[in-house]
Structure 1
Amino acid sequence: MKILTVEGKTREEALKKALEELGASEHEVRVKVVEEGEDRVVLEVGIKAEEVKLIKEVIEGFIKSMGTTGGVEVIEREGVYYANIVTGEMDSILIGKAGKNLEAVQHLLARMIHKRNPKIDVVIDIAGYREKRERFLRAKARAFAEEVKRTGIEYIFEPLPPSFRRVIHLELAGKEGVRTYTIGEGDLKKVVIAPKRRR
């Protein structure tokens, strides 16, 4: 599997070099910006079909090792692959309470994929749970941020796995009038939305 790191004065120039060397068209490749400056751009470019094949092989092997059947859909967005696994009977077990097992599956499969190709970034989902949960958490964060601004009273989320806490922090980063921080230890960490103190 060939992954190129190419440099150019612009993104277009760097991408053109990579496409010529790979003998591929733009829609056939995954492009990730590694570095971008005023007069220099560094891209990492790989063939999507080969990378998707590797991701599917690893995930399908994992599903089979659990003694069940299922499928996986892989899409690429801005240099990152999103793999949605559907097994039917095992989905709720793989997700776990509040997505805790999903975090473990994410960690395990990402490591297995990185072992074969360290350049691939992959986000694992089970039956669309992560996507729905992130959408819900973003909406909840926005709503409670307004409430905190209005009342001046902090809001504390339920304990959440790291990737879901990150969604809230990113959603409210730079939001006027509120700030976020984390409290608790280990599995009991919670995100707090608090009023921003005026200086």
Structure 2
Amino acid sequence: MELSEELFYQQSETVLKVIQQSTSINDRWRLAFENIESLLEAAKFTLIEKRDFCLQMNTLYQQEFDNNKNLWIHLNNKFKEKKDWFEKPLDNPEESKKKLNALQYSIFNTLRSHTDQDEFKSARTSLLSSYIHMFINRLFMSDQRLHELAVYHFMVGYYKMQIGKQKKRITYEPDKLYKSHLREELITIL
């Protein structure tokens, strides 16, 4: 509980710094993305688990907004427009990131050491959704649930891209290695 309170405080400090530096909605979305990514890393999620968690949360929020097709199209277009900035880190003081990361890892390591595997997975998901929800509520002044939907939507798209890139590397690399090996054999024979 103390660690959660400390995390809440550190997240609030980070939000204040970003709000003081910029009023851009894009900067807030990027901070939300970085914070969620950091939490999922601390919880030791794989890339597929990250996608699945964000997809689950996105689905819940989509239902809340009645699976609005126009909203879905708008979010898809926004993601296409903004997907490049997921690769660029926000100008966020490194010291703040280190404190947040240390706290997050500490929380999930403590949870892991005090629960069995099944309990841990359930508690981890519950904690993550709560921490993210509280963070989004402080980060955006209005329409927090809509912003939370947007952030999860963007993250699902981002993780799908990352998974696609991984699959592409795995698919093409063995072929390249094989062709490279054949080339070397031909050179030796000639």
**Do both proteins adopt the same fold according to a TM-score greater than 0.5, normalized to the shorter chain?**
no
TM-score by length of 2: 0.26
TM-score, normalised to structure 1's length?
0.25
Higher helix share: 2
1 or 2, which has the higher strand percentage?
Answer: 1
